[in-house]
């Protein structure tokens, strides 16, 4: 490149640089549009230090644990007498249910902290013995045996309980005789009896019962005429000599805590345990329970006052009609002189045992008897027995917490 060309290039570069500098000056001279003025912000509180945060959260959780621990202890105190009597973690008895309260359900309830009870109504003595031994193999926790006073082999049934060193017997289906109570008590077995009235409760205490069960008409299976709430008010304030357990319609912690406040030592639950995973009830039977409303569990009617049948609460179905037909047929045979009055009642009782098996075990929920308490309306799922028990305990603790808050304002 010649020196002339070189000079020309330098001039071009100078011009370009001067233009760029001008442009920059132009841009820099542009003033920005003014921003709208911002509202003044409230002054922020001083942030707590990390240590303060930790201290506050620790205080909160400590007070929470203290609170719930207190409520749990309160429940423990409320049913201490029942727990001591049964020898269990919780004073919750799994009410005996014919065909269903066998080794699986009984051991599951006892392992879950409750008190499982074998229903021996439909068993013969040798079957009862096998069942007691089987439960022992499945749990080391306490359990009892429900013995029906009208059982044709009641003496042999009691002998089996004594030989197998059963700790608690529940006499059901009527008032046990004084010799039967004495026989088992002499063997060191604790006796629990159903008290349908205050007068009967006092009589049973004189006969030596160690505890009482009051079972209201909300229950499933064979029922009396009086509701749980009335029986509780009639009996609980007047019986202090022995622990009293309440059965029939206990489905939530609210009901349980209320009965404990009224003086009960614990409760007995039947229907809820039908839908325990471990219960051997046919899936159709369980499904009927999960679908039913409380009002579907109706007491069966008695057609002739000369033959007072013990009322049975069950879900209405074709089986209800079969029951009425069975009563009519037995009464007609009585009137023809074919059978006596006692046989009529025996036949009616046998009808139930067979009808319950048909529904509960064979799954014929249309023609069999789906015995269920009114608490059936509170059941909507199948759960392990231990979970049913824990849920009820948790619900009761929450209930105590609610009441405490209500009282403390
Ligand atoms: C299907 C079924 C069968 C029952 N069988 C008996 C029984 O054999 N002996 C007995 O004393 N109670 C029997 N009961 C009553 C229960 O043991 C329990 O006291 C009652 O169900 C409690 O009421 P709930 O169902 O509202 O919990 C039975 C109850 C049901 C639902």
CB-count burial class (<10 Å; 0-12, 13-18, 19+) for 188: exposed
pLDDT confidence of residue 359 = 97
pLDDT confidence of residue 1 = 56
pLDDT confidence of residue 66 = 52
pLDDT confidence of residue 344 = 81
pLDDT(395) > 90: yes
Average pLDDT over residues 80-94: 98
pLDDT(383) > 80: yes
Percent of residues, the chain, with pLDDT higher than 70 = 84
For residue 100, report the distance from its CA to the centre of ligand 1, in Å: 10
319 lines ligand 1 (CB under 6 A): no
For residue 392, report the distance from its CA to the centre of ligand 1, in Å: 18
Cα angle, residue 327 at apex, residues 322 and 331 outer, rounded to 5°? 145
Average pLDDT over residues 82-102: 98
pLDDT confidence of residue 306 = 74
- Model confidence at 63, pLDDT cuts 50, 70, 90, reads low
3-state secondary structure of 174: coil
Residues with Cβ < 8 Å from 340, sequence gap 6 or more? 334
The CA-based dihedral angle spanning residues 368, 372, 374, 378, taken in that order and rounded to the nearest 10 degrees: -110
pLDDT(30) > 70: no
Average pLDDT over residues 154-173: 97
For residue 176, report the distance from its CA to the centre of ligand 1, in Å: 18
What domains are defined for the chain?
A: 79-286+378-408 (3.20.20.70), 293-371 (no CATH)
**What are phi and psi for residue 383, nearest 5 degrees?**
-145, 155
| Ligand 1 site-directed mutation target among 97, 145, 195, 226, most atoms within 8 Å of CB | 97
pLDDT confidence of residue 40 = 58
Averaged confidence pLDDT in the chain? 89
220-245 pLDDT per residue, tens: 999 999 999 999 999 999 999 999 99
pLDDT(167) > 70: yes
196-227 pLDDT per residue, tens: 999 999 999 999 999 999 999 999 999 999 99
> Looking at per-residue confidence, does 50 or 375 come out higher?
375
């Amino acid at each position: 490149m010649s020196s002339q060309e070189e000079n020309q290039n330098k001039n071009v570069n100078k011009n370009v640089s001067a233009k760029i500098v001008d442009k920059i000056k132009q841009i820099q001279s542009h003033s920005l549009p003014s921003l709208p003025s911002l509202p003044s912000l409230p002054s922020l509180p001083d942030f707590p230090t990390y240590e303060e945060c930790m201290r506050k959260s620790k205080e909160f959780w400590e007070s929470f644990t203290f609170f719930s621990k207190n409520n749990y202890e309160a429940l423990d105190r409320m049913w201490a007498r029942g727990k001591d009597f049964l020898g269990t973690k919780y004073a919750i008895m799994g009410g005996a249910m014919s065909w269903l309260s066998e080794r699986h359900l009984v051991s599951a309830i006892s392992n879950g902290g409750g008190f499982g009870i074998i229903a021996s109504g439909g068993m013969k003595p040798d079957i009862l013995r096998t069942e007691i031994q089987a439960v022992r193999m499945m749990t080391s926790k306490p359990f009892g045996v429900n013995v029906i006073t009208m059982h044709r082999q009641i003496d042999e049934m009691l002998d089996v309980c004594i030989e197998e060193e059963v700790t608690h017997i529940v006499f059901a289906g009527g008032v046990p005789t004084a010799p039967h109570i004495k026989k088992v008590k002499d063997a060191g077995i604790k006796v629990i009896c159903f008290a349908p009235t205050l007068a009967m409760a006092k009589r049973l205490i004189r006969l030596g019962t160690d505890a009482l069960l009051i079972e209201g008409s909300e229950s499933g299976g064979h029922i009396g005429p009086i509701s749980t709430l009335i029986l509780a008010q009639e009996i609980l304030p007047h019986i202090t000599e022995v622990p009293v357990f309440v059965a029939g319609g206990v489905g939530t912690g609210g009901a349980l805590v209320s009965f404990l406040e009224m003086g009960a030592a614990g409760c007995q639950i039947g229907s809820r345990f039908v839908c325990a995973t471990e219960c051997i009830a046919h899936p159709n039977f369980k499904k009927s329970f999960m679908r039913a409303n409380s009002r579907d569990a109706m007491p069966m009617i008695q057609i002739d006052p000369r033959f007072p049948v013990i009322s049975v609460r069950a879900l209405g179905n074709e089986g209800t009609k079969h029951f009425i037909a069975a009563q009519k047929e037995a009464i007609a045979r009585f009137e023809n002189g074919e059978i006596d009055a006692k046989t009529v009642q025996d036949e009616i009782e046998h009808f139930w045992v067979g009808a319950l098996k048909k529904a509960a075990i064979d799954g014929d929920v249309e023609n069999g008897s789906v015995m269920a308490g009114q608490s059936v309306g509170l059941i909507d799922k199948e759960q392990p027995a231990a979970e049913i028990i824990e849920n009820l305990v948790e619900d009761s603790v929450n209930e105590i917490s609610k009441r405490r808050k209500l009282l403390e304002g």
